[in-house]
Amino acid sequence: MLGLMQDWQLLCHRIIDHAALYHAERPVITRSIEGPIHTTNYVEVRARALRVAQRLERDGIRLGDRVATLAWNTWRHLEAWYGIMGIGAVYHTVNPRLFPDQISWIINHAEDRVMMIDTSFLPIVEKLADRLKPIERTIVLTDAAHMPATTLRNAVPYEDWISEADGDFAWKYFDENTAAGMCYTSGTTGNPKGVVYSHRSNVLHSMMAAQADAMSVCSRDIILPVVPMFHANCWGLALTSPMIGAAMVMPGAKLDGPSIYQLLDTYRVSFTAAVPTVWLMLLQHLEANNLKLPYLKNVVIGGSACPRAMIQKFQDVYGVNVCHAWGMTEMSPLGTLGSLKPEYASLTGEARLDVQMKQGHPPFGVDMKIVDDSDRELPRDGKTFGRLKVRGPSVARAYFKEDRNVLDDGGFFDTGDVATLDRHGYMQITDRSKDVIKSGGEWISSIDLENLAVGHPKVAEAAVIGVRQPKWGERPLLVIVLKEGQSATKDELLGFFDGKIAKWWTPDDVAFVDEIPHTATGKIQKTALRERFKDYAFPAVAHQ
Ligand code: ADP
C-alpha cells in the first residue's frame, strides 16, 4: 500500500520560488568585485535567475550540461546557480585556488560547456585557454562598463548576456535525482574526484542544515557565508539561507580581517561560517584595533580543526557562540555540528570547551560509525578511535565517470578520517588516516598536538607530521610559524605540552619555518611538509 501524499519533487529551484514568494524583500547584500556594495532581494534574485535559465537555453544548454563557475560569493553567482539548476543543467564550482593544471584537468573532465567567471580569475584562465577544450562560451560576471579586455573565446559581460532574455520563462521540471551541482575534491593524492550532488540531496541537505541543532538559522538571521561557494557549496548556505528566508551578506573577493569585520558590523550579521584561517585574520584585526562584535551571535567553524583558543576567544571575549562543525565535499558537506545537547548544555569552563573541541553530532540524515582495520565496529566510548564511516541521502555513492563503487557492503562511505564517537553521538577527529603518526605501533594524533601548539601565545601556525625514526618507526616533528616579531626556543615550545598530553606524544623536535603550505581549501598540506622533511634526522631524545 502506498501513501496518498502528493508527488512534489525536491527540486532546488523550488527554494528560490519559496524565498521570492514568502521572504520577498529580504536583502541580499554583496561587496561587489567592482568595489561598491550592491543590494538586491530574493524576488530580484529569482527574476534574474529565470533570465539566466532562459539565456542558457538559448545558448543550447540542456538537461545534464555542465556550467563551470569560477566565482566569489556574490548575488550574481547566486542567480547563476539557480538559473543553471532551473533548466536541469549542472553548476560546477571550480576552486580557483587549485593549481592551474588541476583547473584545466577538472574543466575537461567535467566537460563544462559554459564558464561563468569573475574578473579576478580571468588572468588564471587566460593562460589555460588553449587547454579548456569543451568551453564554448565565457560569461564574465560583470557589466559592459567593467568588462576587461580578454583573450578568452566568445567572452561576454554577464549583464549584457542576461539582458538578451526577457525572463518570460518557466523552470523545467524533472526527477529529483537529477544532477544539480558538481564539486571536485582537491585531490591531495592523485587526480581530483568529481562529487555530483542531486536536487534531492541538495534540498534534503538544506533542511538538515537549518535545524536548530545544526546551523540553527531562521528568517530573523542575517547570514554571512564567508566560506566560498566553490568550497563544498559554501556549506549549503546558498541554498539554506533562501530556504529559511534569512538575509544574506556576500563578501565577494575580500576575506581579510578588516573587510569581514566591516560587513559584520555594518550589516549587523548574526550568523557566519568559515574555516579557522579566516577567523584568525578577523580576531587579529579585532585585537589590534580594540573592536567588538555586538551583533554576531553564532559562528560555525570547520574545514579543519578549530583551535581551543579560538573558541575561547570568540565566546569569552566577544560573546559569540562557536559551533565547531565537520564535513567533506562528498557529504554536501555537513556531517556533524557541535550544538550542546542537554547532557552537555550545563557544562561550563574547560569542561564545556572539551566538548566544543569535538566536531559535534550528526543531524538526522547522517549515519556514522567507527571501525577497525578489519571493518569491525568499535565502541562509542569517546576513547577508542577508528576509521570514520558515513551513510545518508546527501553522501556520495560514486565519483563522476568512475565505475568504482566507493561504498562498503553496508552502504557506508569511508571518510578517510580517524575519529572517536562518544555515547551521546559526539564525534572527534584525531586525524586524517594518512596523517596519523604511528610511533612504536601506537597512534599519535597530529591534530591534538597542533591544537595545543597554536594555543601558545607566540605561535601563529603549527603543523605536526610523522618523520621516520629508526627505533619507533615514526616520531612527531612540530613545524612552527611564529607570530611576527616573536622569537622562541625549542624547549620553550615543547615545554608547553607538559602535563597536557602523554609524555611520549611530545614531538621530538621543532622546525621553525616562515610559512606552512596550504591546499586550495585552506588545509595544511601535509604531503608537501612530509616531502620537505623526508630526510630530516631527529636529535637523540629519551622517550619515557
Ligand atoms: P578537501 O579534502 O578537498 O580539502 P574537504 O573540504 O572535502 O576538502 O575536506 C574534508 C576533510 O576536512 C575532512 O575529511 C576532514 O579531514 C577535514 N575536516 C573538515 N572539518 C574538520 C574539522 N572541524 N576538524 C578537523 N578536520 C576537519
Q: From the CA of 513, how far away is ligand 1's center (Å)? A: 24
Distance CA(428)–CA(421), nearest Å, equals 6
Residue 253 maps to a domain:
no
User: Would residue 447 count as lying in a domain?
Assistant: yes
What value does the mean pLDDT take over residues 95-122? Answer: 95
Number of other residues whose CB lies within 10 A of the CB of residue 261: 18
CATH of the domain at 183: 3.40.50.12780
Q: Are 152 and 126 in contact (CB under 8 A)?
A: yes
Q: How confident is the model at residue 432 (pLDDT cuts 50, 70, 90)?
A: confident
Residues contacting residue 58 through CB under 8 Å, at least 6 positions apart: 164, 165
Q: 17 exposed, middle or buried (CB, 10 Å; 0-12, 13-18, 19+)?
A: middle
pTM over 0.85: yes
112 phi and psi angles, rounded to 5 deg:
-65, 130
53 and 138 belong to one structural domain = yes
Asked if 383 and 526 sit in the same domain, the reply is no
**Mean pLDDT of the region 39-67:** 98
Q: Is 356 in the pocket of ligand 1 (CB under 6 A)?
A: no
Name the band, by pLDDT with cuts 50, 70 and 90, for residue 187.
Answer: low
How many domains does one find in the chain? 3
Looking at the fold, whether 155 and 47 belong to one and the same domain comes out as yes
**Could you confirm whether 450 is annotated as catalytic?**
no
Same domain, 516 and 382: no
Spatial CA neighbour of 81 closest among 181, 224, 202, 164: 181
**CB neighbour list of residue 409: distance below 8 Å, 6 or more residues apart:** none
Domain of 415?
A: 366-432
Tell me if 215 sits within 8 A of 271, measured CB to CB: yes
C-alpha cell at position 17: 520560488
Q: Is the CB of 193 under 6 A from ligand 1?
A: no
- If one counts every other C-beta atom within 10 angstroms of the C-beta of residue 144, the result is 12
Given a contact cutoff of 8 angstroms between Cβ atoms, the answer to whether 163 and 47 are in contact is no
> Cell for 189?
593524492
What's the mean pLDDT in 38-47?
Answer: 98
Q: Is residue 86 part of a domain?
A: yes
Catalytic choice (292, 383, 434, 438): 438
Q: What is the pLDDT of residues 134-159, one digit of tens each?
A: 999 999 999 999 999 999 988 999 99
Spatial distance between the Cα atoms of 121 and 71, rounded to a whole number of angstroms? 8
Cα-to-centroid distance, 449 and ligand 1 (Å) = 17
State whether 69 and 117 are in the same domain: yes
pLDDT digits (tens, 9 = 90+) for 214-270: 999 999 999 999 999 999 999 999 999 999 999 999 999 999 999 999 999 999 999
- Cβ-Cβ contacts under 8 Å for 468 (sequence gap 6 or more): 474, 534
Report the alpha-carbon distance of residue 171 to residue 488 in Å, rounded.
61
What is the Cα–Cα distance from 151 to 250, expressed in whole angstroms? 29
Confidence at residue 223, expressed as pLDDT on a 0 to 100 scale: 98
| 171 among known catalytic residues | no
Among 162, 177, 212, which residue terminates a domain?
Answer: 212
User: Residue 223 in 3-state DSSP?
Assistant: strand
Q: For residue 325, how far is its CA from the centre of ligand 1 (angstroms)?
A: 10
Same domain for 415 and 475, yes or no, is no
Q: Please check whether residues 53 and 194 belong to one and the same domain.
A: yes
Q: What is the mean pLDDT of residues 338-342?
A: 97
Q: Is the CB of 103 under 6 A from ligand 1?
A: no
**Whether 198 and 60 share a structural domain:** yes
Question: Domain containing 400 — which CATH number?
Answer: 2.30.38.10
19 band by pLDDT with thresholds 50, 70 and 90: very high
Q: Which three cell numbers stand for residue 424?
A: 551521546
Confidence of residue 471 (pLDDT cuts 50, 70, 90): confident
Do 525 and 423 reside in the same domain of the chain?
no
Q: Are 424 and 515 found together in one domain?
A: no
Res 448: pLDDT: 87
Checking if the pLDDT of 123 tops 60, the result is yes
pLDDT at 277: 87
Identify the domain boundary among 432, 459, 486. 432
- Phi, psi (deg, nearest 5) at residue 313: -65, -50
pLDDT at 521 over 80: no
pLDDT of residue 98: 86
Q: What is the percent of the chain where pLDDT is above 70?
A: 99
pLDDT of 544 over the 60 cut: no
Question: Ligand 1, residues 429, 430, 446, 451: which to mutate, most atoms within 8 A of Cβ?
Answer: 429
Whether the pLDDT of residue 362 is over 70: the answer is: yes
| Residue 543, pLDDT score | 66
Give dist(CA 198, CA 458) in Å, integer: 46
Element (H, E) at 260: helix 257-266
Is 484 an active-site residue? no
Contact of 506 with 448, CB cutoff 8 Å? no
Please state, rounded to an integer, the average pLDDT across all residues of the chain: 95
Helices assigned H by DSSP within 86-132 = 100-110, 122-128
Which of 395, 411, 432 delimits the end of a domain?
432
Task: Report how far ligand 1's centroid is from the alpha carbon of 57 (Å).
Answer: 36
Check whether residue 428 and residue 524 sit in a common domain: no
Candidates 305, 226, 320; CA nearest to 273 is 226
Q: Give 115's strand partners.
A: 68, 138
Query: Do 9 and 199 touch, CB atoms closer than 8 A?
Result: yes
Give domain status of residue 493, yes or no. yes
Question: Which cell numbers hold the place of 5?
Answer: 501524499
How buried is 516 (Cβ within 10 angstroms: 0-12 exposed, 13-18 middle, 19+ buried)?
Answer: middle
